[in-house]
């Protein structure tokens, strides 16, 4: 005899909301439980509160972005992708716009609009939302999944979807609860590590650059002396290092190498659109007259970067640019094309945008998101060991795996 609740979803973030809504639209009775007093806490801070929901990249490009395990997501993306998400949002009053790099945002630039739309969508589908209920364990009867344990009681259900998130931003309720729940029934857990996380630099002068934002620059990760990957776009200096979209994307590559004790350097090309030879000719043409080097550098760089460049290039601020030697000019050009920072560490896991690690994809059926170890248990979102670059990729993966998990749980 079937229990009253067909599908029980744990975690009311992006993956959980989509899982609950898709299951309910299949005709299943659905309850969505959330440990916080209100849903979507982490969703509200994504994209600095603007919510970068997806990207205009193709399914193939999305799969490649999640390498080496990107193919695990192919079925999820093929069943629910960007166009489907846009339809859900627009049907619930939120228009979507495209920005630089193919990034999709709500037209009103408010993550709260996205959350309100998804909550409206799930409510209209018949989902029962229960907040302030922390899942403390999985309810088992004779080796069969029977629901969940919560503080002060149990909730029985035919199917359970864990959409509990990763371990980053724990103040939002994303504290890695799902890892322990999965481990209790035999799943292994890849050690959670920070992904899309700011980098900490050794150079002391970086503190003087805090808050400077650079656009249209190229950052290259140099690992053990070899250039490994580059990203072009925006970055920002922090109190102890580097952050911003291109740095966060490179951090996915950098973190394992730092953990292994390898040398990591980030090289910043401040003029990536100008080849070195062309830049040198430009400097030769422009560095004439009675202008001081300090004044001239302000035409090339943000004002607060100028003292750093003069220090690195050993230039006298009051020296006339016409008196700068060829060697000094080449040194300036070198810094413009190869401003280096030695990376000593990354910021803590609780400051990472997403978590690397979690339930291994080999233990989950990619066609349904169901556990290969325990029938009736499903996974969605960041609790799975998948992580992609910035630009809307991770939220789309959460939405897509949530949709597939909900649909699969409701149809079995």
DSSP 404: H
| Residue 270 confidence (pLDDT) | 97
**pLDDT digit string (tens) for 229-266?**
999 999 999 999 999 999 999 999 999 999 999 999 99
With beta carbons less than 8 A apart as the criterion, state whether 315 and 323 touch.
no
pLDDT above 70: residue 2: no
Q: How many CA atoms lie within 13 A of 148 on its CB side?
A: 29
- What superfamily does domain 7-193+356-411 belong to in CATH? FAD/NAD(P)-binding domain (3.50.50.60)
Q: How far is CA 67 from CA 62, 76, 227, 406, in A?
A: 9, 15, 19, 25
**pLDDT digit string (tens) for 56-68?**
999 999 999 999 9
First to last CA, the chain: 14
pLDDT above 70: residue 401: yes
Measure the CA–CA gap between 335 and 212, rounded to whole angstroms: 17
| Residue 1 confidence (pLDDT) | 35
The arithmetic mean of pLDDT across residues 343-349, rounded, is: 95
The arithmetic mean of pLDDT across residues 325-343, rounded, is: 95
pTM: 0.90
With beta carbons less than 8 A apart as the criterion, state whether 197 and 166 touch.
no
**pLDDT digit string (tens) for 130-139?**
999 999 999 9
Among 272, 291, 282, 244, which residue's Cα sits nearest to residue 336? 272
pLDDT above 60: residue 39: yes
Tokens of 26: 């299949």
Domain with CATH 3.50.50.60 in the chain: 7-193+356-411
Q: How far is CA 188 from CA 16, 134, 357, in A?
A: 22, 22, 10
Measure the CA–CA gap between 257 and 112, rounded to whole angstroms: 37
Among 377, 372, 362, which residue's Cα sits nearest to residue 409? 377
The arithmetic mean of pLDDT across residues 345-362, rounded, is: 93
**pLDDT digit string (tens) for 161-219?**
999 999 877 777 677 899 999 999 999 999 999 999 999 999 999 999 999 999 999 99
The arithmetic mean of pLDDT across residues 146-161, rounded, is: 96
| Residue 3 confidence (pLDDT) | 52
User: What value does the mean pLDDT of the chain take?
Assistant: 95
């Amino acid at each position: 005899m079937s229990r009253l609740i067909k599908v029980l979803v744990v975690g009311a973030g992006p993956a959980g909301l989509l899982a609950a809504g898709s299951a309910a639209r299949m005709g299943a009775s659905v309850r969505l439980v959330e440990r916080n007093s209100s849903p979507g806490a982490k969703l509200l801070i994504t994209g600095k509160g603007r919510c970068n929901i997806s990207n205009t990249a193709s399914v193939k490009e999305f799969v490649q972005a999640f390498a080496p395990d990107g193919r695990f997501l192919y079925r999820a993306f093929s069943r629910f992708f960007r166009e489907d998400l846009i339809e859900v949002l627009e049907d619930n009053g939120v228009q979507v716009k495209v920005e630089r790099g193919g990034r999709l945002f709500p037209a009103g630039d408010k993550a709260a609009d996205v959350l309100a739309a998804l909550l409206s969508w799930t409510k209209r589908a018949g989902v029962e939302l229960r907040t302030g209920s922390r899942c403390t364990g999985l309810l088992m009867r004779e080796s069969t999944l029977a629901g969940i344990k919560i503080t002060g009681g149990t909730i029985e259900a035919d199917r359970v979807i864990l959409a509990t998130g990763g371990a980053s931003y724990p103040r939002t309720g994303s504290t890695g609860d799902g890892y322990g729940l999965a481990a209790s029934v035999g799943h292994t857990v890849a050690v959670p590590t920070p992904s899309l996380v700011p980098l900490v630099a050794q150079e002391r002068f970086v503190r003087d650059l805090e808050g400077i934002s650079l656009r249209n620059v190229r950052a290259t990760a140099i690992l053990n002396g070899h250039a490994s990957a580059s990203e072009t776009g925006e970055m920002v200096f922090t109190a102890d290092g580097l952050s911003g979209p291109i740095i966060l994307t490179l951090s996915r590559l950098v973190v394992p190498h730092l953990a292994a004790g390898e040398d990591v350097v980030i090289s910043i090309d401040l003029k990536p659109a100008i080849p070195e030879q062309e830049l040198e000719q430009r400097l030769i043409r422009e560095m004439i007259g009675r202008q001081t080097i300090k004044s001239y550098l302000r035409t090339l760089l943000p004002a607060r970067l100028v003292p750093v460049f003069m220090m690195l290039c050993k230039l006298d601020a009051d020296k006339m640019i016409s008196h700068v030697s060829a060697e000094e000019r080449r040194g300036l050009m070198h810094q413009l094309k190869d401003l280096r920072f030695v990376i000593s560490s990354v910021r803590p896991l609780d400051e990472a945008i997403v978590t690397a690690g979690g339930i291994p994809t080999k233990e989950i059926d990619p066609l349904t998101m169901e556990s290969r170890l325990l029938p009736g248990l499903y996974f969605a979102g960041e609790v799975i060991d998948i992580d992609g670059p910035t630009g809307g990729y991770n939220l789309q993966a959460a939405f897509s795996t949530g949709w597939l998990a909900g649909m699969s749980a409701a149809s079995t």
